[in-house]
Amino acid sequence: MDRAYDVIIIGGGPAGLSAGLYAARASLSTLLIEKGILGGQIANVEHVENYPGFPEGISGFQLGQAMHQQATKYGLETVAAEVTAIELAEKGKVVKTTEGEYLAKVLIMATGAEPNRLGVPGEERLLGHGVSYCATCDGPLFRDKVVAVIGGGDSAVEEGLILTRFASKVILIHRRDQLRASKLHQQRAFANQKMEFLWDTVAEEIIGDDKVKGLSLRNVKTGEKSTLEVSGVFIYVGLHPNTEFLRGLLRLDAQGHIVINEEMQTEIAGIFAAGDIRQNSPRQVITAAGDGATASLSAEKFLSEQR
């Protein structure tokens, strides 16, 4: 038989965990379903320094754990499972998972986003053999080696700076001649003696048989081709929302983000979305947490109107 809840939250990052805290504190029976590590993307972030309340910053893993602990204290239940399908039935919203079926009056989608692949030859084959998407996880493997970072956003710069603690040199390769990252990140990167920059350059192939040996590069302005010897390639070329499993159920924009109104309500009554999966998200920990709170407050209002 289905296990029934007032609210089921799918995804255990800052958006889902904040939604869980608010829903549980409102005395709604609440289940959070997460297939991976609680905390979502921040679980791998070494140091979060722009979440208010932590003047010295806090490890992303610790922040995720603390958010979960706080919500659990008020009655949030959590299950480790992957959602395989969602069905709208007369009795409610049926959530099918690898650990069985659950029934909800309200759903809050908070499955976040994950790193884009660069999509060049060698990337898939050498993943875990020098290709990585996580400096905090894999940086120590590249002590005194030369590594490349691909991308020009906050992630590329932030993770590049983490790598300077291990690598002898970090070469940031960007397709334009200006970084997209915030000014603060840029200043830190330009001031770091171990960081070098290759502008107007794209990687066309990651070279190596059983481990990364280098990159084939092309200058997008001159067309000039070159190779660069590196032992590691860290890729940060943006994120895509984890909404593939919602295709056909909810309205998504061209990039796959869920379309919502200002109450985090989707076009289906009783289904809300929060965090990086929603359209126009600023993609910050604090905005994800704010979305989660808004979604739960809207859910509470929806449920009281149903009664």
Work out whether 175 is an interface residue with ligand NAP (CB under 6 A).
yes
Active site residue 253: no
Residue 201 touches ligand NAP, criterion: CB under 6 A: no
Q: Does 146 bind ligand NAP (CB under 6 A)?
A: no
Residue choice 143, 176, 221, 251 for contact with ligand NAP (CB under 6 A): 176
Cβ neighbors of 223 (< 8 A, separation 6 or more) are none
Of positions 151, 232, 241, 290, contacts ligand NAP by CB under 6 A = 151
Q: Are residues 17 and 68 in contact, defined by beta-carbon separation less than 8 angstroms?
A: yes
Looking at residue 205, its amino acid is: E
In the numeric block, which tokens belong to residue 71? 């919500």
Q: Verify whether residue 200 is a known catalytic residue.
A: no
Task: Candidates 236, 252, 272, 298: give the one binding ligand NAP (CB under 6 A).
Answer: 236
By the rule CB under 6 A, 153 interacts with ligand NAP: yes
**Token match 């994800």: residue?**
288
Strand partners for 278: 258
Is residue 138 part of the annotated active site? The answer reads: yes
Binding mask 241-280 vs ligand NAP (x if CB under 6 A, - otherwise)?
A: ----------------------------------------
The residue (of 107 and 258) whose beta carbon lies closer to ligand NAP is 258
Neighbours of 104 (CB within 10 A): 26
Cβ-contact 290, 283 below 8 angstroms: no
Q: Which two tokens stand for residue 50?
A: 């722009």
Please give the structure tokens belonging to residue 130: 């020098």
Which one of residues 34, 158, 291, 300 is an interface residue with ligand NAP (CB under 6 A)? 158
Applying CB under 6 A, among 283, 286, 287, 303 the residue interacting with ligand NAP is 283
Query: Which of 81, 127, 239, 297 touches ligand NAP by CB under 6 A?
Result: 239
Question: Residue type for 292, please?
Answer: G
Taking each helix axis from N to C terminus, what angle separates 14-25 and 60-73, rounded to the nearest 10 degrees?
20
CB of 297 to ligand NAP, least distance (A): 25
Q: Which residues contact 142 (CB under 8 A, 6 or more apart)?
A: 163, 166, 167, 231, 232
Q: Which stretches of the chain bind ligand NAP, using CB under 6 A?
A: 50, 118, 150-156, 158, 175-176, 180, 202, 236-239, 283-284
Residues annotated as part of the active site:
134, 137-138
